[in-house]
Every structure is written in C-alpha cells, then in structure tokens.
Structure 1
Amino acid sequence: MEGDVAVAVHTESSNGFAQEWKQTEDVTSGQSTHTLMCNGIKENGGISGSSYLRSVPISVLKQNGLLQSLASGGEQTETEEVDSELERAQHEWDALESIQPVPVEDLVPSALISFNEALQHFQTTDLANLLRNIQPTVRRTGLAVVTHFLFGPPRLHRELTEERDLVFAIAQCTLDNTQPVHMRVLQTIYRKLTCTKADCPRYGPHWENIGFQGTDPATDLRGTGFLGLMHALYLVMDPETLPLARDIYKLSQHPVQNFPFSVMSINLTRIVLHALREEVLTKECNRRQQVVGVLNEFYVATFLHLYEVWRSQRKTISDSGYVLRDVELYAKKNPKQLLKHLHCYLQERRTGIGHRTSPDLLSHGNRSLGDGATHSHGGKEGKMNFTGVCELPPEMEGEARLI
C-alpha cells in the first residue's frame, strides 16, 4: 500500500506571521517516511509521530481556534463573535430600560361613581364594629342636661337615628385601597375637578393639585374619615353644585388667595359633624325626614359661605384658621339662613340671573372676620394652625373623637 498521509497544524510565529506546519507520511512497501513542512517548505530530516507531538508547544494548541472549538463541543465562538453578541445584548438591555411602563390607570379609566351608589355601598356593608364606637350626641352633665331638655332643640325622630348613626360610622371608615368603590370615589373627585378623563396613580404629588397635603390623600382624612370624601363627591357629582365646586376650585388656585381645596373641604365636613352631634340640624332633619340629604346641603351651604367671604374679603392662607373658626360659629348659629341662601344661589344660577353676594352674609363676614384679622396681628396666643384645624376644639376634648 502506497500513499501520502498529511497532518496540518496552524500556528503563529514570534514575528506575528501565520505558520502552517504539515507532516506527511510516505508509505512505500510497508516503510513510512515522515516529512515536516512549514508553509510549503520542506524541513530537513524526518521525525517520528511521537517526536513531532512533543515538539509542538502546548501554547500552539491553545491558540488554534479549531482545537478550541472541538474541545468545547463546538459551542465556543470566536472572540469577535462573542464581543458582537455582548454588544448587541447590551444595546437591547439599554433599550429595555428606557421603556416606561404604562400605568394601569391610563389604560382603563374607572367609571365615575355617583353619591347614591357610594352611599349604597356603605348601607350594604357591615359596619357593626364602627357603630359600637360612635358618639352621636354631645355628652351633657349636671345643669346642662336640664337646660338642654327645656330650651334645647327637639330630639331626632326615632326612625332617623339609624341614618344618623350611619353617617358617624362612615366618618370612622378609612380609605381602603382594596375597595373598588373607595378608589372610584377618589378618582371621580380628581377627574371632575381637573376635567381629566384618565385616572391618576393612587400615590403621587398630583394629589396636591386638588388640595391634598401630600402624595397620599388618606393621611388628610383624620377626623372625618371617608365622610370627607363623600361630601366632596356630592359637591362635584350634583349637576347643580358642580359649577360652584369648580368656582371654588378655581379660587383655590389663585396666585394670592390660594388655599388647599381638599383640606378646606375636609374641615367643612368636620363642622358638619359637630353641628350634627350638637343637634343643631335636628329640627331640619325632622322636618324633611332625612339626615344625609340635610347634611349634604349644609356642607355645600357652608362651603358657599366660606367661598364668598374668602373671595370678597381677599383672604389668604394666613387667615385660614380664623376664617374657619368664624364660619363654624356662623353656620351653627344660623343653619336655616345658610340653607336658604344656598337655595337662592342655586335658583339664580338656574335662571341665569347670576349670583350676587348676600349683604347679610358679607356684613357678618366683615364683622366676625375683621375681629379675627385683628387678633392675627397680636401675639402667638391667638394664632391658629391651619393644618391642625381638623382636630376637635379644646372645649370638646372630653367627648368622643371620630377617629
């Protein structure tokens, strides 16, 4: 058997040029002759197969790409290909990081909720634990009991006590993220005031746009609970009061006369709750045979009164404590006049006459708020902190708090 058998090994010389070593075996009459060639040039002398393998350095084998590929099972790529893959992967990752996720609120806006639907939710919810802790009337002792019995307002009709207690129970409910109704109420208030169609995130600085004090509206509901949102919901969802709500909201954005709309609204809900507990509204509730409806109108009437005083007397945030104090005193003393003024205001808007500020209200506002303004220039003793107005006044510390 005669023939040539060749084995090639590719290396690189010390000067950087590629070298191809080739060993040929010439088989003639059973005798084999080994010849070593480099780049086609025959080397002198022959070597045996074992001596050749010993003469090739291990570094030569490691530098051979084909051998590396075979040693790794064919899965190892060349350095240039690996670098290219890594670079492409890095570009894809950078592009992925730049993609901003679309909030769920922007994809599927929630349906607006009416006041009656939200109220029905609480009417069908088990509030037994909250009802045990309510204090629906002011606790009186000694001579105050006799005086109230002889000269105080009439008692609330028995058939209305359940509705009244429901109001105080709602005032103890906290904002619950797991309740769809709660979230819809919050979104409805925001969208109706700002005239936006899409929902906003549950947390964020955007809540300050409608007068909350931080990124979470729940932190501002101390003292009134969810009732603070229910009253704001009524204000923005009633077609007759929505224009008033937007007028008040516009004033709250004034560059000089601005105030936090939602915080102010919550403070007015607190006034309503005090008026109900002190039985100021009992006579009107008995006359109309309802509690929730009277409270809603009393809340709107009080907000209207504050709005007119704030706008006409050019009040600013520094006057807020005194304004709220005087508004509360007036509202509790004149609930019937306050409600009547609201009805006249809404009637004028319906007929297109336009609203004119009541002289009686302005004269009262000038007198009472003027006194408050005088005190505001005095010492620190008379100064009130706006952010703490939701707390019960000192004279009611002995009574049960809502929260």
Structure 2
Amino acid sequence: MTGSTPADGGAAGPADVRRDWKLPRTVSLGDLGPLADPVSEHNGQAIAVRPLKDHPGWLAKLYRPGLLPEDADRLDLLISAPGTLPEADRALLYAGTCWPAARIQEPGNPAVGCVIPMAPEHYRSELRRGGFGERRFVEIDWLAKSDESIGGIGLPPPGPAGRLAACLRLTELAAILETLGLVYSDWSFSNAFWSPDRRSVYLIDVDGCQPEKMPDVHQPNWADPLTPPGTDADEYTDRYRIGLLVAKCMTGRRDAHAFHTVAASPWQNQPAVSEVLLDMLLATDRERRPSAAQLNRALDGGPYLRPSPRPARGELPPLPPPPVPRPPTPGDAENGDETEVTTPERPDSDLQAVGWIVVLTIAVVLLFLVTASH
C-alpha cells in the first residue's frame, strides 16, 4: 500500500478532467511539465505528491526508490483495468476514486510514480472547531459519529438517508474492485472522503491495490480476526473490513458499539442489511462472508439469499463487550470526540473466586487472633 494521505485528493480539478487530457499509459517526468510544490511528503510509499502546473486537476504521486519491475506491471494492470468494465461501472470508478491514469518511468526506474486525478472540490467543507473555521477534506471518519457531533462542526447531519447513500456508494466501489479481482485492504476512516451535500464518497490510495492478495498491514481497530498476523489480505479480508466500515458509518457508532447496534435490531427496518453485516462480521468461516455486491444489494432494498443456514446463535463467536463511555473532557464538544473504553464484565466464576479468597483471609486472621490470646 502507498499510505493514507489526503493529498491524494489535493485541490479541486475540473469535473471533466479525465476528458480534458488524454494521457498515454506511460510517461516520463519531462512529459508532465513543471511540478508545483508538494501537497504531501514522506507518507507511506510516496515521497511526495505534487500538482502538475500545466495540467490543472492532476497530481504526480512519486514513490520511494526501490520498487521492482513487478510494481510497474501492477500499475499497468490497474491503469488498464477500467477498460474491462461496463461503461456504467467504469464511470462510477472514475467518479469515485483517484484511479491512476499513467505510470511515470525514467531510465533505470520503471515505477517512479503514477499520475492521479485530484478529488473534486465538493469533498471539502468548512469545519468549525473552537470558534475557528477551516476548509478541508471531510474524511468518512465523521460518518462514524452521531448526527449531533457532525452538526457541531458545521456539517449538515446526514440522518439515515445520508448514511445510506454514502454506504451505497462505498459498497458499489467495493463491488467493482471485487469484480476486477483486486484487493484494497485499506478500508478505514482515513482512506475515503465524504461529501455531506452530495451524499457521496471518494476513495483514495487505490494505486496500492493488488490482484488476489497483498501484505496485510496492521491497522488498529480494523484487524480481521480470521486473517492471522503474518498472512496476506485477500478478498475475504476486504469483505470483513468493508462490512465493519459500513456498520460504523450506518450506525454512527464506533468500535464495538457498531456490532451491538447492528445485532440489536434490523437497521432502519431493513433486516437484510443487518443479516449481511452480521454474516460479514461474525462468520466463523471467512469464505462464507457475503460479497460487497450482496451488501450493496441489501442496502439498495434487495433481498439477501444466504447460501447456507447461519449457525445457531450459540455457535457464533460472541459479540465484543459493549464499550463503556469515559467521562467527558472539555475538548470533546468541539472535536466531536466519542472515545470509548471497553471494560469486559467479570465472569461470575471470577467473582465467586474472589469471594472465597476474602472468606479464607478473614478466617486465617481470626484464627491467628484466637491463638495469640491464649
């Protein structure tokens, strides 16, 4: 993966930027003309992301030295992949991602970087915090918070309809990647922008996609329990993470709260959505996780036809313990922070053991006092 950076979105470019400039599949730095100052540096595998002065709306994403010829082949595969899609899916992919348009090469280095489009301006919003405003890209992180928190920074609260629309777009993009046989793995809060006004999302860092499998980089709170450490991420890892991201964005709850909210009752009277998500998140066999296309269909009001009966509730892994909210701090209101602390309940057997230890301790003390008095 090439690292998560809002600079993949950059400043706004023309809405029809892909039609304005027809790039060859392979270019040199000289072909691109002068580069502007970096909008991001030393982030993941990218040493810099720089706007192209002569081509507004485009960025050069330059990689660290040491990439192999296989990386050039992989970039070529990604650049060509949209051409294999139906026109509607290709349009969705281009509109919703910073899909690489050309590979940058130089003598002796076949993978200097790639050319990517900038994110549209409507993914920026004015965020108000502590009496100050800042116009910036809105990460999808905010959808995993309450409508009250979102409204508190000056964004229009999405409500159920806005959350549903964003999750529909997310799962459309995930389904297209799955159709192409590509693993993204980086489904998380920082790798997508959200437009509250247009109820859409924009996926970044897609130039890190790999066919079939890729190294599974550890992401706190996004670890797949059925992808052991040290093994590769694959389509089933992607299914878990897109399910987790959708659960958090739909419910506005973070961490284990999302599990409990989805499991407690059908979400917004859509039982198929809850069923798909529970199978994605709680399946004991990773290959039985529903696909992104199945989740998208359920979100769109369609049915969910489970290929085999779900195991009885007692055979499913237990839900994570419900988080316990920590006491609020003065900065929470302005930051929309909803940090939670998970405190597992002490099993009854542990409580009984503690009780017996107390009783035995008192007995020993009493015996010592009686013996001393004689």
TM over 0.5: no
TM interval, shorter chain, is under 0.3
Judging by fraction of residues, say which structure has more helix. Answer: 1
Judging by fraction of residues, say which structure has more strand. Answer: 2
TM-score normalised over the length of structure 2: 0.26
